[in-house]
Each structure stands twice: as structure tokens, then as C-alpha cells.
């Protein structure tokens, strides 16, 4: 396995982990009925997860 292949594999694992964390965050916010704070167009916005 080349260095580039290892980097691609590591990147894929990181992206997969971030996607799982995002899904768990949305589930948690739905359970607690709390707002999700995001940045949109350089402004901080609070939204209800659906």
C-alpha cells in the first residue's frame, strides 16, 4: 500500500466518523427538543432539528 493509498483510507475513515457524529448529534437534539446552532452566511442561526 502506497503512502497516497494510506492517506485516502485515513481520509475515508475520518469522513465516515464525522458523518456518524453528525447523525448522533441530530438524534440527540431531537430527543432533547433543543435548537441546533449553525453558521449560515457568516451569521449564527438557531434551528429546530427535524
Q: What residue segments make up the domains of the chain, in order of their start?
A: 3-47
According to the model, what pLDDT value does residue 49 have? Answer: 80
Contact criterion met (CB below 8 Å) for 10 and 2? no
pTM: 0.73
Distance of alpha carbon 12 from alpha carbon 16, whole angstroms:
6
Per-residue pLDDT of the chain (50 residues; tens, 9 = 90+): 899 999 999 999 999 999 999 999 999 999 999 999 999 999 999 998 87
Phi-psi category of 41—alpha, beta or left, where left has phi over 0 and alpha has psi -120 to 50? left
According to the model, what pLDDT value does residue 27 have? Answer: 93
According to the model, what pLDDT value does residue 47 have? Answer: 92
Amino acid at each position: 500500500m502506497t503512502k497516497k493509498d494510506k492517506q485516502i483510507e485515513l481520509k475515508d475513515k475520518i469522513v465516515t466518523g464525522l458523518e456518524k457524529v453528525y447523525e448522533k448529534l441530530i438524534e440527540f437534539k431531537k430527543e432533547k427538543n433543543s435548537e441546533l446552532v449553525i453558521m449560515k452566511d457568516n451569521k449564527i442561526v438557531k434551528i429546530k432539528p427535524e
